[in-house]
């Protein structure tokens, strides 16, 4: 019998399990569907895309999307200790103050930016330069660092932005509008996931048990109170009991487990022969994701990441923790507003000193660079639903990309801005032929066609177990599942409206917030 069962060792789950186990009087069980994170490519920053489509990746596909040329979209998600923080580009980008204030304005007490900034700072071990210390923590377990060996073209991107009037900023500081180097979750040039930062030190504690390769089949109940989980491990079924269960299985996994457990839209559950424990219509709804387009160019000099894996660069990395293998690929960022009257930037520009076409799978030979334009606040909303009662079967995922016309208009504006940026003098030594969209695509119609044909996810799905008090809310502001005692969700699925940043930082904060609330409620 445990006090707490945490399902999922991703960004939030690692934080939550570590923080809960700080109390030696409680017993914590952490269950992870994936394997250990011992694989070498996980540690090498520039190698992250080599983990795509492997056993460390859930390797999801969406349904064919009508507004994006009827294409299904690839969604990599970490199936490994550390979750997607063991698979991502290590970009630590919290988002805009207004993102979190909007959560609070929707009725979620305790979730404004001012409420959450201390939690961001608590997690953070910031070692960068030129940042505002009021917005960063220096003593937390999660390293947030400057790039060790930024590419020469990355400096050109920043200079080009400044020539267009963008201000050099600390992306996680007082103002997001502007341009700057990406802060990364690295230590001495190596990836430092949520597992490295939080979980591994905590695993020395006798009161924390971590089990890998455990596929949770569902939550178990005594009446309308959760009392444990059932799961399969290496072909054998098992069960564990606790006084509280917390789902940290992510935007896809957490709603799937809820629905398999009988919590979700009653009619849909009944169609699959699942007994309804609680009719919660919002489970699987409110799906949001960042979608990206942009432009890719040939590089006139052999300075891109195309040669990062040379023997010399491998030696630099292994001996000194420096060189192009320390690159997170998305080395610099800019946040811009495409029209007047916006409360916050609506586009993020990500600079990669390499080709990054179709998730890196369609890169041509030679040297190139990419400037991605990311839609930060999509109006489009999607959903996910069970395909079957089989816990190993991926759910149906329908993000409804570009279903709102304003989303396509913003991305077209983004491609036009990228072209202006790359035309700046700072890029003259590097700028070659435009590969994507291609110089022949000039008007809005042609650019819109290109975006529909080539846009892809930036891997930030959120919202399918929405926090709030409206009819689609799945959890309340203390992350308790509606209508069920002893059950919470604590991961990116609870985000009601997507942040204008990257979701790893927000998920770590959610883990911190959940641990704080659970400890407080246990003493009440």
Question: Do 344 and 363 form a contact (C-beta atoms < 8 A)?
Answer: no
**What pLDDT band is residue 204 in, cutting at 50, 70 and 90?**
very high
CA–CA gap between residue 323 and residue 430 (Å, rounded)? 20
Instruction: Express each pLDDT in 501-519 by its tens digit.
Output: 999 999 999 999 999 999 9
What is the model's pLDDT at position 128? 82
CA–CA gap between residue 422 and residue 483 (Å, rounded)? 53
The number of CA neighbours under 13 Å toward the Cβ of 447 is: 20
**What pLDDT band is residue 319 in, cutting at 50, 70 and 90?**
confident
CA–CA gap between residue 207 and residue 194 (Å, rounded)? 19
Record the tokens describing residue 101, joined without a space. Answer: 């204030």
> What is the per-residue burial (b if ≥16 Cβ within 10 Å, else e) of 429-464?
ebbeebbbbeeebeeeeebbebbbebbbbbbbbbbb
Terminal Cα distance for the chain, rounded: 21
Per-chain mean pLDDT for the chain: 96
Angle between helical axes of 503-523 and 11-20 (0-180°, round to 10): 30
Q: Is 372 exposed, middle or buried (0-12, 13-18, 19+ CB in 10 A)?
A: buried
Looking up tokens 């424990």 gives 277
Question: Do 159 and 179 form a contact (C-beta atoms < 8 A)?
Answer: no
Region 2-8: what's the mean pLDDT? 98
Sequence-ordered list of residues with C-beta below 8 angstroms from that of 342, at least 6 positions apart, any chain: none
The DSSP code sequence of 183-213 is PB-EETTEE--HIIIIIHHHTTSTTEEEE-S
Looking up tokens 């929707």 gives 106
Region 430-448: what's the mean pLDDT? 95
Catalytic residue among 73, 96, 367, 460: 460
Partner residues linked to 184 by β-bridges = 91, 145
What is the model's pLDDT at position 436? 94
Record the tokens describing residue 315, joined without a space. Answer: 């030696």
Q: Is 34 helix (H, G, I), strand (E, B) or coil?
A: coil
Region 264-270: what's the mean pLDDT? 97
Picking from 464, 453, 452, 449, the residue whose alpha carbon sits closest to that of residue 503 is 464
Pairing of strands 60-61, 74-75: antiparallel
Looking up tokens 């009440």 gives 524
Record the tokens describing residue 367, joined without a space. Answer: 């040297």
- Has residue 486 got a pLDDT over 80? yes
What is the model's pLDDT at position 524? 66
Instruction: Express each pLDDT in 176-196 by its tens digit.
Output: 999 999 999 999 999 999 999
Instruction: Express each pLDDT in 360-398 by its tens digit.
Output: 888 889 999 999 999 999 999 999 999 999 999 999 999
504 is a catalytic site residue = no
What is the model's pLDDT at position 369? 97
Picking from 410, 411, 407, 386, the residue whose alpha carbon sits closest to that of residue 398 is 386
Structural domains of the chain, with CATH: 2-39+195-285+462-523 (3.50.50.60), 40-71+134-191+288-383+392-457 (3.30.560.10)
Instruction: Express each pLDDT in 77-111 by its tens digit.
Output: 999 999 999 999 999 999 999 999 999 999 999 99
Catalogue the E-assigned strands of 265-317. Answer: 278-279, 291-299
- Has residue 18 got a pLDDT over 70? yes
């Amino acid at each position: 019998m445990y006090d707490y069962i945490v399902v999922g060792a991703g960004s939030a789950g690692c934080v939550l399990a570590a923080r809960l186990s700080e109390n030696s009087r409680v017993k914590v069980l952490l269950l992870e569907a994936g394997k250990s994170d011992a694989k070498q490519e996980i540690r090498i920053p520039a190698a992250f895309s080599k983990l795509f489509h492997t056993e460390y990746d859930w390797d999801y596909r969406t349904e064919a999307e009508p507004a994006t040329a009827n294409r299904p979209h690839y969604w990599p998600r970490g199936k490994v200790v550390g979750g997607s923080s063991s698979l991502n580009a290590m970009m630590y980008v919290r988002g805009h103050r207004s993102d979190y204030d909007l959560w609070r304005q929707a009725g979620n007490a305790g979730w404004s930016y001012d409420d959450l900034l201390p939690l961001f700072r608590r997690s953070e071990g910031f070692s960068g330069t030129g940042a505002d210390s009021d917005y960063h923590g220096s003593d937390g377990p999660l390293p947030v660092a400057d790039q060790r060996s930024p590419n020469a073209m990355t400096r050109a991107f920043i200079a080009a932005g400044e020539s267009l009037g963008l201000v050099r900023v600390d992306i996680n500081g007082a103002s997001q509008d502007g341009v700057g180097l990406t802060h990364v979750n690295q230590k001495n040039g190596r990836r430092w996931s949520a597992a490295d930062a939080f979980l591994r030190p905590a695993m020395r504690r006798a009161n924390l048990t971590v089990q890998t390769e455990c596929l949770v089949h569902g939550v178990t109940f005594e009446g309308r109170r959760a009392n444990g989980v059932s799961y399969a491990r290496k072909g054998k079924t098992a069960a564990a009991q606790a006084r509280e269960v917390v789902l940290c299985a992510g935007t896809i996994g957490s709603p799937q487990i809820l629905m398999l457990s009988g919590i979700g839209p009653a009619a849909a559950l009944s169609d699959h022969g699942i007994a309804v424990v609680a009719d919660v219509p919002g489970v699987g709804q409110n799906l949001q994701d960042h979608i990206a387009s942009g432009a890719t160019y040939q590089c006139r000099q052999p300075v891109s990441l195309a040669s990062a894996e040379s023997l010399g660069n491998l030696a630099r990395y292994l001996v000194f923790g420096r060189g192009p293998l320390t690159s997170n690929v998305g080395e610099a960022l800019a946040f811009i507003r495409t029209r007047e009257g916006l409360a916050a930037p609506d586009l993020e520009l990500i600079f990669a000193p390499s080709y990054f076409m179709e998730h890196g799978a369609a890169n041509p030979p030679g040297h190139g660079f990419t400037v991605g334009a990311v839609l930060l606040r999509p109006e489009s909303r999607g959903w996910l639903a069970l395909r079957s009662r089989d816990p190993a079967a991926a759910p149906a995922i329908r993000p409804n990309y570009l279903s709102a016309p304003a989303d396509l208009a913003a991305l077209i504006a983004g491609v036009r801005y990228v072209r202006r940026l790359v035309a700046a003098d700072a890029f003259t030594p590097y700028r070659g032929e435009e590969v994507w969209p291609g110089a022949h695509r000039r008007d809005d119609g042609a650019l819109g066609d290109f975006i529909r044909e080539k846009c892809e996810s930036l891997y930030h799905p959120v919202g399918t177990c929405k926090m709030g008090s409206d009819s689609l809310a799945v959890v309340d502001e203390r992350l308790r599942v509606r209508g069920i005692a002893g059950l919470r969700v604590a991961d990116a699925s609870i985000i009601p409206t997507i942040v204008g940043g990257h979701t790893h930082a927000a998920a770590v904060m959610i883990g911190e917030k959940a641990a704080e609330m659970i400890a407080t409620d246990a003493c009440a």
